Structure 1
Amino acid sequence: MKMSREQKIYTKEFKIEAVRRAEASGKPIVEIARELGVSESTIHNWRKQFPQHSEQAFAGSGHQTPEAEELRRLKRELEVVKQERGIVKKALHIFSRHER
């Protein structure tokens, strides 16, 4: 029987504090990770995310940056357009056969 690992969820404030500690304390990342009870790679990932997204970093589950939300909206819109185009192509094919 395989046991699943439950993924821990950390608040935005916790992540920001971890990044600040990593950058300001002068301690090795390994030590900070141990103190906070997270993996070293997790802190490295948070450090990468924070400068790239600043205030919008660590938005949390279901919350996306405005750019990611726009991309998601455009992908949905593209899918609708592709479906509509497929319907028009089928209709043209059907009507062109009936005219012959």
Structure 2
Amino acid sequence: MFSREFKQEAVELVTKRCVSAAQASRDLGIHATVLRRWVRAASADGPAAFPGNGKLTPEQEELRNLRREVSKLKAERNILKKAAAYVAKDQL
């Protein structure tokens, strides 16, 4: 895909140099919608925008960790349910 530096330069064309998104996208050979999305991401995230491959924003990292924890807890719950059913079956 595109490097972080390329995205930052493209955003600067639109935001600091007052080039329209349509013109900048034509000059760079990318779709205007992609460039507008980059501009929104840069304005929303500031310096944390475009973290790169494998690098997550703090929110994304927290979400990943929480999903992992939920998955682990569900597996533990299922094991306990099966164990409880097995013990109850033996008691009858």
Please, what TM-score do these two structures have when normalized by structure 2?
Answer: 0.91
Residues 8-46 of structure 1 deviation map (CA, whole Å, 9 limit, x = unaligned):
x11111111111110122232111111112111111010
Give the ranges of 4+ consecutive aligned residues of structure 1 lying more than 3 Å apart after TM superposition: none
Amino acid across the alignment from 1:83: A
Amino acid across the alignment from 2:32: E
Amino acid across the alignment from 1:18: A
Taking the aligned partners of 2:71 and 2:19, their CA distance within structure 1 comes to 49
Taking the aligned partners of 2:43 and 2:5, their CA distance within structure 1 comes to 15
Whether 1:82 and 2:74 are equivalent positions in the alignment is yes
Greater fraction helix = 2
Amino acid across the alignment from 2:57: T
Q: 1:31 aligns with which of 15, 23, 31?
A: 23
Unaligned runs of 5+ in 2: none
Taking the aligned partners of 1:94 and 1:38, their CA distance within structure 2 comes to 60
Amino acid across the alignment from 1:36: L
Where in structure 2 are the equivalents of 1:1-40 lying within 5 Å? 9-40=1-32
Q: For 2:2, what is the secondary structure of its paired residue? A: coil
Query: Alignment length, in residue pairs?
Result: 92
Whether 1:98 and 2:90 are equivalent positions in the alignment is yes
Q: For 2:54, what is the secondary structure of its paired residue? A: coil
